[in-house]
Amino acid sequence: MRAFFSWAVFALAEIVSSAPVAVPELEKAVAGAAPGTIIEVENGIWRDQVLDLMGRGTVEAPIVIQAAVPGGVVFSGKSAIRLSGAHLVLDGFFFRDGEAPEKTVIALEGEHLRLTNVVIDSYNPGDPESREDKWVTLRGQYHRVDHCTFRNKTSRSVTLTVWRDDDTADHHLIEANHFHTRPPGGKGNGYETLRIGTSDHSKSDSLTTVKGNLFEACDGEMEIVSVKAGRCLIEGNNFRRCAGTLTLRHGDGSRVSANLFAGLGKKGSGGLRVYGADHLITGNVFVGLAGRGGAALALQSGQENPELNGYRRAENLHIEGNLFAANEGPAIRLDTEYGNDRRVQLPRLLVVRSNTFSGSDVEGMVDGADRGGFELRWENNRVFAGNQIPSEITSKFSPPLNKENVGAPWYRDQLP
């Protein structure tokens, strides 16, 4: 029996261990579990299991539903889990050799639910374009998805989605996961790896944190991560060889900090696209990108009086302490998409301070400035030719993440 002490408060609670439970009896076991119960699930390959796991733990004593051996409980065929209630933990399960029976593989609905140490690998319908299926969906508040591996999603729709049914803040934490291999989608839009919200409630704040995740070869579409809500924190993530961008599509007041965008020269690789107001972009590294989206950092022009799903210009941005090196095209584009889709409002109120720029085309590091009217403050930035950047600058940035830092520990040896 594995003890579960990931939440410090749980160590203070009374732990009630159940006898090992087979998957067909799991719904009943969870429904009858008292706070603090650890439900160990028997190893085996469980086919065509659609489970509705409902229970209520407490903050001091969550109910933990865990595989007897991490990865030993395998769901295949048309299997799915809905986890609902409060203070429940799902730990160590493996989905492979199958597909979602309907629209979702794992749904979290309620409050303070946690998905950890779980792997979903190549869990796709035979015809990947036949229907939409999301692998993980979050509804409610204060959910946590951490140390999971999501590999080779080829089917339509988003890998992990935060649903927002109203303007209530979500407060979710998506941390230390490995999003590995998302081939290009066949029909354009709708193949994001991670999406927070939709345009419907994008004027309100989500307060979701996306931290310390590795996105590797996520090529589904232009938007690897699509933020459509306010005041999100996107921090310490790595985007490695991804043919797409992190996009602040809707919402205001987000912080994008200490992320690494490493294209490694891959065609279609990009950095950050920004719409909306009051964002802080600080301490990020943009290196070896191929310029998808118009620049490593593409500030978007907007429409007059845009609809909720329209294009709002970027404004009142602080861009501070970032490093741009060895990228194709501009490091920063100030007038992205100006003139397209009725976008006639240029970005404005821009503070660009204490950044480092390097590349072969020093004169072309910032593009679009000749239009004027940006209300741009340019302060203490440094430019180096030929990507020769002093070590006292580069040493301030964190080293890249690798598979030993993220994802389900028991699955790491199975990754290339």
**H helices then E strands: how many in the chain?**
2, 41
List, in order, residues 6 or more apart from 356 with CB less than 8 Å away: 322, 323, 324, 325, 381, 382, 383, 384, 389, 393
The whole-number pLDDT of residue 176 equals: 98
Q: Are 347 and 379 in contact (CB under 8 A)?
A: no
The whole-number pLDDT of residue 217 equals: 98
Residues 281-336 have pLDDT tens digits of 999 999 999 999 999 999 999 999 999 999 999 999 999 999 999 999 999 999 99
Residues forming a β-bridge with 384:
358
CA-based angle 365:371:373, to the nearest 5?
Answer: 105
On the question of pLDDT at 5 being above 50, the answer is no
For the chain, which domains are there? 124-414 (2.160.20.10)
Q: How far apart are the first and last CA of the chain?
A: 30
The whole-number pLDDT of residue 405 equals: 98
Segments in 41-129 forming alpha helices (H): none
Q: Which of 10-14, 58-62, 255-259 has the lowest mean pLDDT?
A: 10-14
Region 150-178 average pLDDT: 97
Residues forming a β-bridge with 321:
none
Give the single-character DSSP code of 73: E
Region 27-35 average pLDDT: 97
Region 33-52 average pLDDT: 97
The whole-number pLDDT of residue 15 equals: 63
Residues 88-135 have pLDDT tens digits of 999 999 999 999 999 999 999 999 999 999 999 999 998 988 888 999
Residues forming a β-bridge with 356:
323, 382
Question: Percent of the chain, pLDDT > 70?
Answer: 96
Q: Do the bridges between strand 343-345 and strand 302-303 make them parallel or antiparallel, or are there none, so unpaired?
A: antiparallel
The whole-number pLDDT of residue 401 equals: 98
How are strands ordered across the β-sheet holding 332-336? 50-56, 80-86, 104-111, 134-141, 160-162, 194-196, 223-228, 245-250, 270-274, 292-300, 332-336, 366-367
Q: What is the C-alpha separation between 152 and 333, in angstroms, rounded?
A: 32
On the question of pLDDT at 231 being above 80, the answer is yes
The whole-number pLDDT of residue 100 equals: 97
On the question of pLDDT at 241 being above 80, the answer is yes
The whole-number pLDDT of residue 406 equals: 98
Q: Are 61 and 81 in contact (CB under 8 A)?
A: no
Region 334-339 average pLDDT: 98
The whole-number pLDDT of residue 186 equals: 83
Region 1-19 average pLDDT: 48
User: Which band of pLDDT confidence, cut at 50, 70 and 90, is reported for residue 11?
Assistant: very low
List, in order, residues 6 or more apart from 410 with CB less than 8 Å away: 70, 71, 92, 117
